[in-house]
């Protein structure tokens, strides 16, 4: 369950790329506004069916991860998700496929598209050095690293949370379980 939540959170954090205009009404007390209406972000989560397919392929680990290391199967889940999206084939990430997929998901906003392209460029460059490296389960280290890099890079480029949007606006629904 922790792996599933961690993956859902990781993917969901990709949604934090842009600080829209904030409705100040949402910050007045008492606050009865829905934060999802104050800070809109596009839904870039993969379809639930794809998440479930990968979760079935790589079920929840029996124990907690070793401190300081990613959850067991993290790279496998990332590789599965990237393959399902057509971003990774034969152990290699296609920068063009990743860019076109993310740009399509963020919509027509020039700001979102710029952030998506810069994030893909930066993350692709960072993970390219890991090449065909495999983890202890035989899964691509590059896939896991790319999935970790992308949301943090998008956050760095847009600092969505620093614009006053609550953390929960980054998640577009409940985890698939």
CA–CA separation, 114 vs 99, rounded Å? 10
Nearest to 153 by CA among 17, 11, 45: 17
> What pLDDT score does 112 carry?
76
DSSP of 54-93: HHHHSPPPSSPPPTTSPPTTHHHHHHHHHHHTTSEETTEE
- Estimate the share of the chain in helix, then strand, then coil, as percent rounded to the nearest 5: 60, 5, 40
CA–CA separation, 154 vs 172, rounded Å? 16
HSE of 150 in the Cβ direction (CA atoms, 13 Å)? 26
> What pLDDT score does 165 carry?
56
Nearest to 106 by CA among 174, 36, 15: 15
> What pLDDT score does 117 carry?
92
Token pair 């954090």 is at which residue? 13
Identify the DSSP state of 39: S
β-bridge mates for residue 176, sequence order: none
CA–CA separation, 85 vs 105, rounded Å? 12
Q: What structural domains does the chain harbor?
A: 2-61+70-170 (1.10.238)
Per-residue burial over 45-57, b = 16 or more CB atoms within 10 Å of its CB, e = otherwise: bbeeebbeebbee
- pLDDT (tens place) for every residue of the chain, 177 residues total: 555 544 444 454 443 433 444 455 555 555 555 655 555 566 667 788 888 999 899 887 777 777 877 666 889 999 999 999 999 998 899 999 999 999 998 888 777 788 889 999 999 999 998 778 898 888 999 999 998 888 778 777 765 444 555 555 555 544 444
> What pLDDT score does 158 carry?
65
Nearest to 103 by CA among 113, 88, 94: 113
């Amino acid at each position: 369950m922790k792996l599933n939540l961690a993956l859902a959170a990781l993917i969901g954090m990709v949604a934090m790329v842009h600080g829209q205009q904030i409705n100040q009404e949402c910050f007045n007390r008492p606050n009865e506004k829905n934060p999802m209406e104050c800070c809109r972000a596009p839904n870039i989560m993969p379809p639930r069916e794809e998440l479930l397919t990968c979760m079935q392929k790589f079920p929840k680990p029996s124990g907690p991860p070793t401190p300081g290391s990613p959850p067991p199967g993290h790279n496998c889940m990332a590789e599965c998700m990237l393959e399902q999206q057509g971003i990774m084939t034969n152990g290699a990430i296609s920068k063009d496929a990743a860019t076109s997929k993310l740009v399509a998901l963020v919509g027509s906003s020039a700001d979102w598209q710029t952030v998506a392209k810069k994030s893909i460029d930066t993350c692709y460059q960072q993970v390219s050095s890991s090449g065909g490296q495999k983890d202890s389960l035989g899964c691509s280290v590059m896939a896991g690293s790319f999935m970790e890099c992308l949301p943090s890079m998008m956050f760095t480029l847009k600092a969505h949370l620093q614009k006053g949007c609550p953390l929960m606006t980054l998640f577009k629904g409940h985890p698939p379980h």
